[in-house]
Amino acid sequence: MDQPAAKPLKWYQGLEKYCWVVLVISALGWLFDTMDQNLFNLVRKTSMEDLLMPKAEREALTGPAKVAFNDEVGFKSGVVTSVFLLGWAAGGFIFGILGDRLGRTKTMIFTILIYAVFTGSSGLVNNWVIYAIARFMTGVGVGGEWAAGAALVAETFPQRSRPMALGFLQALSSVGNMMAACITWGIEGAGITDVQAWRIVYFVGAVPALLVLWIRRSVHEPEQWVHAKEKASMGRELGKIGELFTHPGLRRNLIASVLMGTAGVGALWGVGFFSTDFILRTLIAAGKQPAEANQIKNIMFILQNLGSFFGIYCFALLAERFNRRKAFMASYAVAWLSVLLFFWGVSKAGSSAATAALVLAPVMGFFTLGPFSGFTIYFPELFPTRLRTTGCGFAYNAARILAAGAPFAIGFLGKKFGFPQAASIVVCIYILGFIGTWLGPETKGKPLPDDKDFEVAPQIKAAPAPQQT
C-alpha cells in the first residue's frame, strides 16, 4: 500500500536552534531601533517647545502670539523630522554597502551603537539645531540596521520559513513602538519637575547598546555571505553599488523598490506618525489640560501600534496566501483610506475627538504599517547575495530621501490649511507605491537570487551573409 504523503511542516517547525537565535537578536535590534525612532515622535512637540522657548514665557503667551508660536513649533518639528529621515537615508546608503563588504553581524553592531548613543545624546541638547544634528546621527544608525538584520534573517532561514520569519521580524517593530509609548507615558506621568521629562525619555533610549554584547557572542556571518566573499576575488565584488544601475534587471528592481518604499515611508512618517501632534493640538484646543492630553496621546499611540502589529503579520500571511504584488496593491489602497478616515474622523468628532482617535488609530496603524512587512520580505528577494544589503539599503533609504519632504510638507500645509487637509494631500504619495508594485517582479515561491540570476547573456553576432558569386 502507498504510504500517505507526509504533512508539510509549518514555517516554525523543524528549524535549528541557531535560526531562532538569529531571529530573536535581529528582531530585538529592529525592535529597539523602532523604539528609539518613536521616542522622538512622542516627545517631538514638548521637546521642541522647551528648546524654542522657556516654559514660563510660553505660559504667558496669548492670542496671536500663542498661535504664532504653535505654528513655529509645528514647522520646525517638520524640519527636524525631515532631517532625521535624511540621516536615516545616509545610514542606509553607507551601511548597506558595508553590510555586504564587512558582513551582516559587524554592521548590526555598529548601527545599534550609533542609534543608541545618539538617542541618549538627544536628551542633552539645548537648541533645536543641535537637536536636529543629534536626530540626524540617530537616523544614520537606524537606517543601517534594517538592511543588515533583514539580510541576516533571510540568509539564515530555509526558503519555506523565510517569508513568515521576516514578517515576524517586522511585526516586532510595533512592539518597539509600543515600548516607546509606555516609556514616555511612565516618565511623563512620574511628576518630574527638576528635569524636563523628555530628556529622561531619551536617556532610556540609550539602553539598547547593551544588545551588542549578545550579538558579538552569539551570531556569525551567514554561509551565503561567506561564499559570496570568497568569490569576490574572482571579479564578483561585494557591495559594488554601480551594478544596481548598469544591469537592466537590477535597475528595474531598484526603481520598483524605491517607489514602493517612498510610498510607505512618506505616508507613515509624513502623515501617520503625526497623529500624536494632531491629537495633542486637537485636545488642547478643545480645552483639555496638557497632562491629560499627553496621556490620551500615549494611549492612542499604543493602540495605533497594537493595530500595526497585527497588520504587519497579516500582510505576511496575505503575501504567502496570494502573492507579493497583490498584497502590496491591496495594502496601499486600504492604507490610503485609513489615513483619511483617521484625520477627518477625529477632526469632525468635536467633543468626542479623544474617543474617535482611540477607535480609529489602531485601524490606521493596522493598514499603514502593513507594507513595511512587505519591504522586509520582498526587498531581499530582489537582489543577489553580494548586493543584498547594498540593494535593500539603497532602496529603502533612497525612499527616505524622497519621503523626507513629506513631514516638511505636512508641517507647511497644516499651518496653511489645517491637519486633515494637509494629510489628504500628502497621503497621495501612495500613488508611487502602485507604480512601483506594477514594475516589480513576482517572487513568491522562488529562492533568494544569486549572481547567476542576473548574468547578462552574451550577445551572439549574426553570421555574415554568403557572398554572391
CA distance 395 to 399: 6
CA distance 406 to 339: 14
CA distance 90 to 139: 8
* pLDDT for residue 292: 86
CA distance 122 to 86: 17
- Residue that has been written with the C-alpha cell 502602485 in this structure: 434
Query: Smallest Cα–Cα separation from 258: which of 101, 433, 11, 30?
Result: 433
Q: Model-level pTM?
A: 0.73
Q: Could you give the 3-state DSSP secondary structure of residue 303?
A: helix
Q: What are the helix (H) ranges across 102-247?
A: 104-121, 128-156, 162-188, 197-204, 211-218, 223-231, 243-246
Spell out the per-residue pLDDT of the chain, length 469, in tens.
Answer: 455 556 777 888 888 899 999 998 888 888 888 888 888 888 888 899 999 988 888 888 888 888 888 888 888 888 898 888 888 878 877 887 788 788 888 888 888 899 999 999 999 999 999 999 999 999 888 878 877 888 888 888 888 888 888 888 888 878 888 888 888 888 877 665 556 788 999 999 888 888 887 887 888 888 877 777 766 644 456 657 788 888 888 999 999 999 999 999 889 878 887 888 888 888 888 888 888 888 898 889 889 989 988 998 899 889 888 889 999 999 999 999 999 999 999 988 888 889 999 999 999 999 998 898 889 889 989 988 888 888 887 887 788 778 777 777 877 787 778 788 888 998 999 999 999 999 999 998 888 887 676 765 444 444 455 555 4
CA distance 291 to 277: 14
Q: What is the CATH code for 17-223+237-448?
A: 1.20.1250.20
* pLDDT for residue 276: 83
CA distance 276 to 67: 19
Do 423 and 285 touch, CB atoms closer than 8 A?
no
* pLDDT for residue 459: 43
Q: Which helix (H) or strand (E) holds 66?
A: helix 63-101
For residue 194, give every residue at least 6 positions away whose Cβ sits within 8 Å of its Cβ, in sequence order, or none.
none
Strand ranges (DSSP E) for 355-416? none
* pLDDT for residue 236: 54
Query: Smallest Cα–Cα separation from 313: which of 415, 151, 165?
Result: 165
CA distance 192 to 221: 45
Question: CA Rg, the chain, in Å?
Answer: 23
CA distance 38 to 43: 9
How many residues in total does the chain contain? 469
- Residue that has been written with the C-alpha cell 541638547 in this structure: 125
CA distances from 304 to 15, 207, 393, 422 (A): 33, 24, 27, 20
For residue 111, give every residue at least 6 positions away whose Cβ sits within 8 Å of its Cβ, in sequence order, or none.
91, 95, 140, 141, 142, 143, 144, 145, 148
CA distance 314 to 260: 18
